[in-house]
Amino acid sequence: MPEKMEGIRIEIPSRYKVNIDREKCKICKRCTINCTFDTLSFNGERIVADHDNCVACQRCSAKCPQEAITIIDNQMAFPFHAAYDERIRRIGWEQASTGGVMLASCGNDLPYPSIFDDLVLDAAQVTNPAIDPLREPIETKCFLGAKPAKLEFTETGDEITLKTNLPPNIELSTPIMVGQMSLGSISYNAQIALFKAALEVGTLVGTGEGGLHPDFYKYGKIINSEVASGRFGVDANYLKKVAALEIKIGQGAKPGHGGHLPGEKTSKLISETRMIPKGTDALSPYPHHDIYSIEDLQQLIFALKEATRYRVPVGVKIAAVHNSAAIASGMVRAGADFITLDGFRGGTGATPRIIRDHAGIPIELAIATVDQRLREEGIRHKTTLCAGGSIRYSADLVKALALGADVAMICTPVLIAMGCRVCQQCHRGTCAWGIATQNPAYSQRLNIEVGARRIANLFHAWTEELREICGAMGIDSVESFIGNRDRLRYVGPNPKIADIMDVKHAGEAWG
């Protein structure tokens, strides 16, 4: 680590400018209280802005009673260079100032093309009637967990006997669940809002890798709890309280990385949740140090199944990487009742920027190849395929299902529902909206009831749109939609992508 040096931070243009309309401003100072990034202050005479600190979270602007504040992009000209654009130059300046690894949060923000946007949907015409979801039932219920290959019945006269026992499954009212966000990455209020919304919707919420605060044990039946490499917050009592367990091997935002919660964030609340002393760093290792190969994973899966007496499904989450299909096959054979693929746009509370922006593969390809591989091996029924980390809105959801995912997992859309502005500063812990912070003063800004209602509304809206799409295709139940790639067509630039996804090009007919 280089020594600190006077003048090491050179002057560089700020990214944003905070414009204060002096005519309108009554100097009520509300903005200075609301700003959590030390941008706005009162200098004894008027409100002044330190533009360098502004992250465009819009909190000041939203809370200004006079609508006097506007945040704009800094119009400062950068000498043109197509390769060394502003982003690249800023990275260089920043790294030269600190000598460190660039931290980031939220998900990959680079303009990689979205394959979802290159897929279009089919609709029923003439030979099959479209179904109006407002008039006819269209079912979205689904089940998380392993299914048997077949059911065994015997029939003697009028007596029908079922002889197959099903593994544990969780009923979801809609094929969408909330992904893994820990108390630590998000606030206490934000997590309660998620739990309340999921209770109303009838779906699962991930706890992230931080364990479950005892206050939340009462929400156990909608909780999909994570067992990560640090084992934070994992004990037998906790395992028995929840509906599903998910072993986290990887995360889309940081494949090949563990977690890092600095000691200053380990408050009393976090300490109780993660079961570590107050003020200590919560560092989770990159790999599980008891899982160096597939047979080790199998042992952990069955250790968890034993601990929970085989009453809850146990899943495994991996980041979508090049060899996902083979890895997923191994996971299913090792006993994973559900597997979660996390795409390269997946979010995080903190990650090295280089990993966030450059590692992993698009979720569309991961879904398609994993689904295909599991079918080829005849083990597709043995697992529920969940996919997340790139699903931005309902259109992505329906395309993910048609490509072969059973359930979509979402995080950033849920945060957006609660008012997140995607300023990507979660790793700093000073979220002005009370979502990604542990500061009680900020956390209490998030109204739990409003947040829960907004999340439930989002789920309702997505589910209704899923119904609309199914109905338009003449499908009245979501299980007939999953893996139904024949109802997708590719309109993008690269036919190789269509080949990998086993999707025909637009213009090609059925068959």
Q: Which residues bind to another protein, rule: CB under 8 A?
A: 124, 126-129, 131, 136-137, 139, 141, 143, 147-148, 150-153, 155, 158-166, 169, 375-376, 378, 380-381, 473-477, 479-487, 509-511
Give least dist CB 163 to another protein, A. 5
Helices within 158-203 (DSSP H only): 188-201
Q: Could you give the CA distance from residue 473 to residue 488 in angstroms, rounded to a whole number?
A: 11
* Residue closer to another protein, measured from CB, 264 or 376: 376
Is the CB of 111 or the CB of 137 nearer to another protein?
137
Show Cβ contacts of residue 66 under 8 Å, excluding neighbours closer than 6 positions: 21, 24, 25, 26, 28
Closer by beta carbon to another protein, 192 or else 374: 374
Residue closer to another protein (CB basis): 76 or 123: 123
> Rounded to the nearest whole angstrom, what is the least distance from the CB of residue 63 to another protein in the complex?
45
In whole angstroms, what separates CA 302 from the centre of its chain?
26
Question: 274 or 487, CB closer to another protein?
Answer: 487
Alpha carbon distance 401, 508 (integer Å): 21
Q: Which of 192, 254, 250 is nearest to 226 (CA)?
A: 250
Taking the complex as a whole, the smallest distance from the CB of residue 375 to another protein amounts, in Å, to 5
At closest approach, how far in Å is the CB of 189 from another protein?
34
**Nearer of residues 339 and 417 to another protein, judged by Cβ:** 339
**Torsion sign, CA atoms 395, 397, 401, 403:** positive
Shortest distance in whole angstroms from residue 331 CB to another protein = 18
Tell me how far, at minimum, the Cβ of 170 lies from another protein, in Å.
11
Q: How far is CA 59 from CA 55, 183, 192, 325, 415, in A?
A: 10, 22, 22, 43, 15
Which residue's CB is nearer to another protein, number 127 or number 293? Answer: 127
Rounded to whole angstroms, the Cα distance separating 334 from 146 reads: 12
**Residue nearer to another protein on the CB measure, 36 or 140:** 140
Residue with tokens 């969408």: 176
Smallest separation (angstroms) from another protein to the CB of 94: 48
Q: How far apart are CA 133 and CA 492, in angstroms?
A: 30
Measured from the CB of residue 458, what is the shortest distance to another protein in angstroms?
23
Please report how the helices 448-472 and 188-201 are oriented relative to each other, as an axis angle in degrees rounded to 10: 40
Are residues 503 and 485 in contact, defined by beta-carbon separation less than 8 angstroms?
yes
